[in-house]
Copies of this chain bind each other. A is one copy, B any other.
Amino acid sequence: MSETTEQAAPKPKRPSRARRREEILAAATRVFGSKGYHQGSLGDVAAQVGITHAGVLHHFGSKDKLLWEVLEYRDRVDVQHLEGKHIPGGLELFRHLAVTARLNAERRGIVQAYAVLTGESVTDGHPASTWVAERFTVLRGEISQAVRDVAAERAVTLPEGEPERAAAAVIAVMDGLQLQWLLDPEAVDLAAATAFAIESILTATLGTTVRITEAAD
């Protein structure tokens, strides 16, 4: 065993480790998305990649750990289309949110996964609750900062706590619209309603008309 232990398995000819894990993560996203975490079983996930549930456990150890990696996987996919750019600030952030909503209307699965897991996470002792709570905290921070930036840009002074309230409202409206859209896609135009709501909140908060959609599109 001289140089044998050194091979880090970089070129996978076999659908090995990394690749299989990705397959499983994608399958788990679909399963947890369509059935929820508690109702979606390891067997369901395993079946989608053509192995047994024990095979899944071989890669992820436990169902909880699999969930955690699914959540991080979603983040990775989400950030991916930003192409390395960090999350924008100011008005650009809100345009980004509107664009995300438009993209989401074409990715029902991932939206459903997010909605189901977020809803489930408010149950006692749910393994995803800290992840979701932290996610909300981070988002509120980023969005309220963007509100402050836009306000400064337009020389508007905001009352204490207003940026935070606006940030919470923006996140809330996005999540809530996703729920309604998932249950009745015909009744709610996810992209339009989201853009409308964000503009409304910003306009009312800043006291001046804010547009985040491109003209004539």
Cβ contact of A176, chosen from B116, B120, B174, cutoff 8 A: B174
Is B180 a contact partner of A168 (Cβ separation < 8 A)? Answer: yes
Cβ contact of A120, chosen from B119, B137, B172, B205, cutoff 8 A: B119
Alpha-carbon distance between A175 and B179 when the two chains are bound, in angstroms: 9
> In which size bucket is the chain A interface?
35 or more
CB contacts under 8 Å to B, within A154-205, are 165-166, 168-169, 171-177, 179-180, 182-184, 187-189, 192-193, 196-197, 199-201, 203-205
B residues near A36, Cβ cutoff 8 Å: 38, 120, 123
B-binding segment of A12-20, A58-66, A85-93, A128-136? A128-136
Is A183 a contact partner of B34 (Cβ separation < 8 A)? Answer: no
B residues near A168, Cβ cutoff 8 Å: 177, 180, 187-188, 193
B residues near A205, Cβ cutoff 8 Å: 200
B residues near A112, Cβ cutoff 8 Å: 122-123
B residues near A171, Cβ cutoff 8 Å: 176, 180
Q: Quick one: closest B residue to A181, CB to CB? A: B168
Q: Is A145 at the interface (CB under 8 A from chain B)?
A: no
Q: Is A71 at the interface (CB under 8 A from chain B)?
A: no
Is A34 a contact partner of B124 (Cβ separation < 8 A)? Answer: yes
In angstroms, how far is the closest chain B Cβ from the Cβ of A67?
A: 14
What copy number does this chain have within its complex?
2
B residues near A119, Cβ cutoff 8 Å: 115-116, 118-120, 122, 179
- Using known A-B contacts A118-B119, A120-B116, determine if residue A172 contacts B197 with beta carbons closer than 8 Å: yes
Is A183 a contact partner of B35 (Cβ separation < 8 A)? Answer: no
B residues near A183, Cβ cutoff 8 Å: 121-122, 129, 132-133, 136
Is B182 a contact partner of A122 (Cβ separation < 8 A)? Answer: yes
Is A123 a contact partner of B177 (Cβ separation < 8 A)? Answer: no
Alpha-carbon distance between A100 and B31 when the two chains are bound, in angstroms: 35
Q: Is A140 at the interface (CB under 8 A from chain B)?
A: yes
B residues near A176, Cβ cutoff 8 Å: 169, 171-176
Is A196 a contact partner of B175 (Cβ separation < 8 A)? Answer: no
